[in-house]
Structures are given as structure tokens and as C-alpha cells.
A and B are shown apart, each in its own frame.
Chain A
Amino acid sequence: TQLLEQSPQFLSIQEGENLTVYCNSSSVFSSLQWYRQEPGEGPVLLVTVVTGGEVKKLKRLTFQFGDARKDSSLHITAAQPGDTGLYLCAGDSGGSNYKLTFGKGTLLTVNP
């Protein structure tokens, strides 16, 4: 069974601070996805990274896929209260039925 370890599990910061969330595994993934989930709603896709070493930017969010495609990070610059939510990483092992393995999530609170 493939596992994805996310850290930290909880993060509470002040508006304007920077933060990094990590997603690590001993397994190789063909792609890795990052989702954000708000209370009472389903996860919403932020980005998919596919190539080892790939870096993608989405406004103040920077996503990186490790060279070996076993780990990923999400960095938020100058966090805002609107960034508050549960961040989930999910790895696709590349099997024929496209099953995702999810990390347990990082609950981010950005205080004004």
C-alpha cells in the first residue's frame, strides 16, 4: 500500500507570513495533485505536477514535485485569511484505473 505523509498536520499563522506544507512518500508517483477543501465542501483541485523537478505557480502558491517523484511541497507567500482551509496532496501511481492515494491533510488557519 502506498502512503503519503503530510506535514505539518496543523498550521496556524498570522496574515502576511510564509509557510510550506510537505508531502512525502517512499513510493514513486506518476503525478501528484494538490487540493484545497473548505468546511462542508468537497476538495477542489489546485494543481497537478507530473514531471520530476517541476515547479508550478498559482498566484502566491508555489508547488514543487521532487526530482524522484516521491515528494512534493506547497509554499504560500504572504498568506491571507482566504487561504484558510484543508490542503490535501494525492498521488497517482499510474495504474490503469487512476486511483489516488491521499495524504491526511494539513489544516491551515491564517489569522487576520
Chain B
Amino acid sequence: DAGITQSPRHKVTETGTPVTLRCHQTENHRYMYWYRQDPGHGLRLIHYSYGVKDTDKGEVSDGYSVSRSKTEDFLLTLESATSSQTSVYFCAIRDRQETQYFGPGTRLLVL
């Protein structure tokens, strides 16, 4: 157990509304990642962070922003949700043995 929690676990929202997903870790790992998982696409990296206030884009970053104001929290924001952002979102951390551990996921439905 890498001490990763995600909130909310499920969310239904409407097109055009802002949505923020939270990832919280308890073990002070430097690297944190946000992925989305969709049928036929596998896991795709949205954004990642390599320290407080240090973030960078992944392969599918359009329409998403992130923030990391403290080590334990990594926030993913959909500024104006679209139906194409309906997905399951996973947060991950990288430990000192270079292994990524995943949170339980957030299932997001955009109507």
C-alpha cells in the first residue's frame, strides 16, 4: 500500500462545468502522475509533477491543468469539462525504487 487516495471516487458533471480531482499521498514521494484510462487506448499520461510547483505535460494534456502546492497533493482540473473527458482517472506516485504505484481511480462521467 503506497498510501495513495483519490477523491472523489465517482463524479457526474455537465458539459462546460469545471471539475477538480484530488490525489493525496502520505509518503512524501517527489514524483506524481495523472493518467486517464479508456477502452482501446490503455493508460495515457496527462500531466506529471517532479516536485512542489514543478509540473509538465504528458501526451494528452489538452483541456487539463494541474497544480501541486504541497508534496502530498496533486490536483487535476478540467477547466470546462467535455464529453470526451469521460474516463477513469488514475493518480500514481513513483517511489525511490523507481516503481509507480497507482491510486484506486476516479470514474468521471461528463453529460
Contacts and interface: CB of A to CB of B under 8 A. Distances in A.
A35 B35 CA distance: 15
A75 interface: no
Interface residues of A, number: 22
A90 B43 CA distance: 9
A102 B98 contact: no
Interface in B14-53: 31, 33, 35, 40-45, 48, 50
Given A97-B31, A99-B48, A33 B42 contact: no
Interface of B: 31, 33, 35, 40-45, 48, 50, 56, 58-59, 90, 92, 94, 98-105
Given A41-B105, A98-B31, A88 B43 contact: yes
A31 B99 CA distance: 10
Contacts, number: 52
A95 B45 CA distance: 15
B42 A48 contact: no
B96 to A, nearest CB: 11
A99 B43 contact: no
A11 interface: no
A99 B42 contact: no
Contacts of B102: 35, 42-44
A105 interface: yes
B58 A102 contact: no
Contacts of A99: 33, 45, 48, 58
A97 B100 CA distance: 12
Nearest to B97: A48
B103 to A, nearest CB: 6
Contacts of A92: 98
Nearest to A42: B102
Given A48-B99, A97-B50, A102 B105 contact: no
A92 B97 CA distance: 13
Interface in A53-101: 88, 90, 92, 97-100
